[in-house]
Chains A and B, each alone.
Chain A
């Protein structure tokens, strides 16, 4: 079974000499920090920002969907709530999106309580269907109540020029570094959780919830907590995205494609792994950028067609994602030697 392979591989990775991991991480950090200085094309920076943003959303999804295997397709709900909270605070009260961002996170956390209460009563495909419905209901509510938040037309964010305190910058590189910081925070949180008691609880729930409960894991509480954290992080991404594109409406803020992409990048990269969502996003977003430059943006549907083909291929041949594949190769080459000795 693929699950067994991955577990073996995981223990190998942990036994790996620490030095190499730290060194490659440092190298990666230097490259990633230097990239906006090297790349002058604004198209390239745009793509990099998209990669960082969706990798971050994927990381947030992966905490719940990957480790605890609660396969949500409704994370657009929190993305949209984050986006709307900060925008409402900014447009109606002039409060900085930096504060609005965290307010949005808190709103998303609070919203995840009733939504989680409802959805966690279900398992498997029914959980997934219910999460889709909650995000869609929120979108319909924001479409319908136009007095509260501009309805279907949405609104543009007042452009203040270069105003760092209002999360508005003239240089695209600034957005790049914010997205990078978000991703770094997401990865750090995942890293800590992966190695904590919580992380083991999550994996236990993901493997077999009934068995986990039987040995004393408080599954409902753990699932509630991780859902709150996941919702909080997703909402931060929502605020950032709205500030980046200077526009908000229910169709972009609660777009189903956000929910899809969050799950997709994690599955393609490898669910329940630290770097899986990042690798998945790099692969998918690069593919989509190449497609766009080859075919032009006019051909509607091509991006998701290719995404769904990649997803199907992954599910059929590599259900553990790219990370699982890498672990397998790594395990085959490194483990073979001590086993023979």
Chain B
């Protein structure tokens, strides 16, 4: 019993690291640009397909292809901010919500047309490897993904707290108008925020590839998790999003372990609704206009 519980917690923590990369992206965009990016999961999907094609065409290891997927998605993020999101800032809710929503629809359905709905997997030498410690089973691929996810989150934290650009981003997220008055180029800061957030989503995709299938709708799972985690961890708060993501991973894994294998998604949705019911002040009340 204790072992099953510990195993479920470990499984949850390992996948929670990936959720963290996605939700840190969502929270970063919300904090700085004040937009909820409905398409964040789709960039995870793009990251997965980049790694998939690099692995099948050129035999590049998915984890190594991180160095391709992250810069590519950084550029995509900057372009999206500059050419799309920038145009709806300052308008009312409808364009702001439905722009990223339309983007998500577009990316999913384009991928359906280009890649079909088939599941794509990449098998690496470490896909089936695992550590056995004290009766617990720790898959190597998930461990690598978790460790790299934590490293990337740490790098982001250091970036936000030590570099000028990072400090400017934090300033813009605390108070955009005052930051602007202090001479911060908000447009540049917004572009970097989108770029960094999408690069993290791309990294999540690459890290997932050795043990998770890629398909056009794969992003939904991750974006929903991210929304819950971002809400739980207080909007715009990166450490909060990280901790909440790990918690969400564990909760999901416990749900699968003790309620049933097909209940993962229902657990997520119920947690989302529960969170919204119990802690709406963190969202509605705390939503700066």
Binding site for B on A (CB under 8 A): 3, 69, 71, 73, 118-119, 121-126, 128-130, 133-134, 136-137, 140-141, 144, 260, 263, 267, 271, 299-305, 307-309, 311-312, 315-316, 319
Known contacts A126-B276, A300-B112; 6 additional CB pairs below 8 A are: A122-B276, A263-B98, A315-B94, A316-B84, A316-B95, A319-B91
Residue B272 interfacial (CB < 8 Å): yes
CB < 8 Å: which of B91, B96, B111, B269 contacts A137?
B269
Stretch at the interface among B100-108, B174-182, B238-246: B100-108
With A69-B93, A121-B284, A130-B276 known to touch, is A312 a contact of B266 (CB < 8 Å)? no
With A118-B276, A312-B102 known to touch, is A300 a contact of B94 (CB < 8 Å)? no
Residue B231 interfacial (CB < 8 Å): yes
With A122-B284, A309-B106 known to touch, is A316 a contact of B87 (CB < 8 Å)? yes
B101 partner residues in chain A, CB cutoff 8 A: 73, 128
Q: Would A129 and B272 count as touching, CB distance under 8 A? A: yes
User: Quick one: which of B51-99 are within 8 Å of A by CB?
Assistant: 84, 87-88, 91-99
Cα separation A315 to B105 with both chains bound (whole Å): 14
B269 partner residues in chain A, CB cutoff 8 A: 133, 136-137, 140
Q: Would A125 and B96 count as touching, CB distance under 8 A? A: yes
Q: Would A140 and B266 count as touching, CB distance under 8 A? A: yes
A140 partner residues in chain B, CB cutoff 8 A: 265-266, 269
Q: Would A312 and B103 count as touching, CB distance under 8 A? A: yes
Q: Would A137 and B266 count as touching, CB distance under 8 A? A: yes
B95 partner residues in chain A, CB cutoff 8 A: 315-316, 319
Q: Would B270 and A137 count as touching, CB distance under 8 A? A: yes
Query: How many Å from the CB of B106 to the closest CB on chain A?
Result: 4
Binding site for A on B (CB under 8 A): 36, 38, 84, 87-88, 91-99, 101-103, 105-106, 108-113, 116-117, 216, 224, 227, 231, 262, 265-266, 269-270, 272-273, 276-277, 280, 283-284, 287
A144 partner residues in chain B, CB cutoff 8 A: 262, 266
A315 partner residues in chain B, CB cutoff 8 A: 88, 94-95, 98-99, 102
With A308-B106, A312-B102, A316-B88 known to touch, is A118 a contact of B94 (CB < 8 Å)? no
Cα separation A155 to B65 with both chains bound (whole Å): 47
Query: How many Å from the CB of A204 to the closest CB on chain B?
Result: 14
Q: Would A307 and B88 count as touching, CB distance under 8 A? A: no
A303 partner residues in chain B, CB cutoff 8 A: 109
Cα separation A123 to B94 with both chains bound (whole Å): 12
Q: Would B109 and A129 count as touching, CB distance under 8 A? A: no
CB < 8 Å: which of B84, B94, B110, B280 contacts A121?
B280
Contact sample, A vs B, 19 pairs, CB 8 Å cutoff? A71-B98, A118-B276, A118-B277, A124-B36, A124-B97, A124-B287, A125-B38, A126-B36, A126-B280, A126-B283, A129-B227, A136-B269, A137-B266, A141-B266, A302-B109, A307-B105, A312-B102, A316-B88, A316-B95
A299 partner residues in chain B, CB cutoff 8 A: 113
A69 partner residues in chain B, CB cutoff 8 A: 92-94
Q: Would A311 and B98 count as touching, CB distance under 8 A? A: yes
With A69-B92, A304-B105 known to touch, is A267 a contact of B98 (CB < 8 Å)? yes
Decide if the interface of chain A is mainly helix, strand, loop or mixed. helix
Q: Which residue of A lies closest to B113 (CB)?
A: A301
Q: Would A71 and B93 count as touching, CB distance under 8 A? A: yes
Q: Would B273 and A301 count as touching, CB distance under 8 A? A: no
A3 partner residues in chain B, CB cutoff 8 A: 92
Interface centre among A122, A125, A309, by most B CB within 10 Å?
A: A125
A129 partner residues in chain B, CB cutoff 8 A: 36, 227, 272
Q: Would A71 and B97 count as touching, CB distance under 8 A? A: yes
B87 partner residues in chain A, CB cutoff 8 A: 316
Cα separation A69 to B91 with both chains bound (whole Å): 13
Q: Which residue of A lies closest to B277 (CB)?
A: A118
Q: Which residue of B lies closest to A316 (CB)?
A: B87
Q: Which residue of A lies closest to B105 (CB)?
A: A308
Cα separation A263 to B96 with both chains bound (whole Å): 14
Query: How many Å from the CB of A223 to the closest CB on chain B?
Result: 13
With A121-B280, A137-B270, A304-B105 known to touch, is A267 a contact of B94 (CB < 8 Å)? yes
With A69-B93, A319-B91 known to touch, is A130 a contact of B273 (CB < 8 Å)? yes
B113 partner residues in chain A, CB cutoff 8 A: 299-302, 305
B272 partner residues in chain A, CB cutoff 8 A: 129-130, 133
Cα separation A119 to B95 with both chains bound (whole Å): 20
Query: How many Å from the CB of B244 to the closest CB on chain A?
Result: 15
Query: How many Å from the CB of A254 to the closest CB on chain B?
Result: 12
A125 partner residues in chain B, CB cutoff 8 A: 36, 38, 93, 96-97
B102 partner residues in chain A, CB cutoff 8 A: 308, 311-312, 315
Cα separation A158 to B108 with both chains bound (whole Å): 36
CB < 8 Å: which of B93, B112, B273 contacts A124?
B93
Q: Would B105 and A121 count as touching, CB distance under 8 A? A: no
Q: Would A319 and B84 count as touching, CB distance under 8 A? A: no
Q: Which residue of A lies closest to B116 (CB)?
A: A300
B224 partner residues in chain A, CB cutoff 8 A: 133
B112 partner residues in chain A, CB cutoff 8 A: 300-301
CB < 8 Å: which of A73, A123, A133, A141 contacts B273?
A133
CB < 8 Å: which of A126, A271, A300, A312 contacts B99?
A312
Cα separation A91 to B270 with both chains bound (whole Å): 30
Query: How many Å from the CB of A143 to the closest CB on chain B?
Result: 8
A124 partner residues in chain B, CB cutoff 8 A: 36, 93, 96-97, 287
Query: How many Å from the CB of A250 to the closest CB on chain B?
Result: 13
Cα separation A137 to B88 with both chains bound (whole Å): 31
Q: Which residue of A lies closest to B227 (CB)?
A: A129
B109 partner residues in chain A, CB cutoff 8 A: 301-305, 308
Q: Would B265 and A301 count as touching, CB distance under 8 A? A: no
Query: How many Å from the CB of B22 to the closest CB on chain A?
Result: 15
